[in-house]
């Protein structure tokens, strides 16, 4: 089964974890920053997907 949304969520979670560990030093700050990034990833993907919904796909 192919779930594009699941791939997106896993990708967002892993990238957010790495950036949080890179950019913040304190554990509490890392968690906050990581969750913020994760939410931003998911929200922006949903908004962009919704905006692109009217566009034609594959010539249809």
Partner 1 sequence: MRTATADRSPALDRGTLWMLCVAAWLVPGSAHLWLRRTRAGLVFLVALPLMFAIGLALHGRLFPFEAGEPLALLAACADLGIGLPYFLAWLSGAGAGSVTAASYEYGNSYLIVAGLLNMLVVLDACDIALGRK
- Which residues of this chain interact with partner 1, rule CB under 8 A? 2, 4, 7, 10-11, 14-15, 17-18, 20-22, 27, 30
**Minimum CB–partner distance for residue 23 and partner 1 (Å):** 9
- Alpha-carbon distance 18 to 7, whole Å? 17
**Minimum CB–partner distance for residue 30 and partner 1 (Å):** 8
**Minimum CB–partner distance for residue 53 and partner 1 (Å):** 19
- CB-side neighbour CA atoms (13 Å) of 21: 6
Angle between helices 4-23 and 27-52 (to 10 degrees): 140
């Amino acid at each position: 089964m192919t779930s594009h949304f699941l791939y997106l969520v896993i990708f967002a979670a892993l990238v957010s974890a790495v950036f949080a560990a890179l950019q913040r030093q304190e554990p509490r700050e890392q968690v906050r920053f990581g969750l913020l990034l994760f939410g931003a990833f998911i929200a922006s993907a949903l908004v962009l997907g919704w905006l692109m919904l009217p566009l034609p796909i594959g010539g249809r």
